[in-house]
Amino acid sequence: MALQRMKKLINIILLFLLVQPVFAQVKILPKFIRRMYFEKDTSKRGSFVLLPVISSAPETGLEGGGSALYSFYTDTLSKNTRVSNIFAYATLTTKGQSRLNLSSSYWAPNNNYHFTGAIGYINFPFDFYGIGNNTAKADADRLGQKRLRVTFSGEKKIGRNIYVGLVAGGYDYRFHDRETGGIFTTDPTIEGKQGGTILYYGPSLIFDSRNNNTYTTSGGTLTSYLNIMNGAGSNSGYSGGFLNVEITHFFALSRKFVLAFDVQSQNMTGSQSPFYLLPALGSDEMMRGYYNGRFRDRNLLAGQTELRYRATERLGIVGFIGAGEVFHKDFDINQLKPNYGGGLRYFFDVQKGLSIRIDYGVGEKRSGESKQSGVYVGLGEAF
């Protein structure tokens, strides 16, 4: 079923990419549409793009909304200053659920400072499968979730490609079990079932030698930060931490081919393990093909490689493979889960290297279950 939806979606996108530029040339489309998706701009002025969102599921009904991205340079004279952006996302379902997010990535002139910030709210159900690297689909337990999240990071350049800084923020989680009697209520080892309010702060250290932060063809990154986390208020006595380390590298094999690598490690510290803070396998960026949260535990290690082909200045094709797992204490190479897939790219802003992407990822097939898979549509590369 997922493959059939993927084929249908790919056919629609291909038709859009092939036919609409013809319309744009004869000025049938409105000017603001031509400017967002088809016109080439070398003036370094700000650009704006909209992407509609529509989906349907039994637990949500019809979901509709959209995302918007505004990209700009803080210094239009410099050749080195990276692209900054403001991103907004909002959807609403016919059953009253919602997802809202506003975020920004700001690069100061000459990349001397880098700031990010985000605020997001979710009132949306999800499936909880338990804890560990081998949860069963039959144990899926539908939970209602309300989450408010505020995050901030700021780094200063202290040397060639080296940044040091601070991360800070907070989370507030609330859950209710829609199907009592499932694994969420019967498993006594699951911590933090009532949710909680968490505040955090900590240091960050980044090495960034990429030639471009939107469509990288050479260089790489090492991104690391430590969240020192504490509960706030009467609903949370949590005390612990979260360490994230991610390494990427990019190689230009030719004028049109780029080989990209990405490895990420996430680790909880301290003795407590609220389930909503545990690293989770699967997203639109890493381990595509797995339902986010199907597998979660105190530690996560995952890696992927992606081959990118820029067929034209507007169109690109990618293929990717990867592997990863979550684990409580000891990493076991025999427990690694595979993923693979491919996707299409349409570069709506050639000068800034900004694209709309659609990926189809495939995961493992567990005994008695169908093969795991997922379709992802978004703005920008996965990493």
CB 277 within 8 Å of CB 297 = no
Regions of the chain where pLDDT drops below 70:
1-30, 32-39, 41-42, 235
Q: Give residue 61's pLDDT.
A: 84
Q: Which CATH number fits domain 40-379: 3.50.50.60, 2.40.160.50, 3.40.50.300, 3.90.470.20?
A: 2.40.160.50
Distance CA 236, CA 230 (A): 8
Q: Give residue 45's pLDDT.
A: 85
Please, which residues have CB within 8 angstroms of residue 211's CB and are 6 or more apart in sequence? 217, 218, 219
The b/e string for 247-263 (b: 16+ C-beta within 10 A; e otherwise) is bbbbeeeeeeebebbbb
Q: What are phi and psi of 189, to 5 degrees?
A: -85, -10
Q: What are phi and psi of 183, to 5 degrees?
A: -65, -30
> Going by DSSP bridges, is the β-strand pair 219-231/239-252 parallel, antiparallel, or unpaired?
antiparallel
Q: What single-letter amino acid sits at 254?
A: S
Distance CA 108, CA 371 (A): 45
Q: Give residue 5's pLDDT.
A: 47
Exposed, middle or buried by CB within 10 Å (0-12, 13-18, 19+), for 290? buried
Total-model pTM: 0.87
What residue ranges do the domains of the chain occupy?
Answer: 1-39, 40-379
Torsion over CA: 231, 233, 235, 237 (sign): positive
DSSP labels for 112-128? SEEEEEEEEEEE--EEE
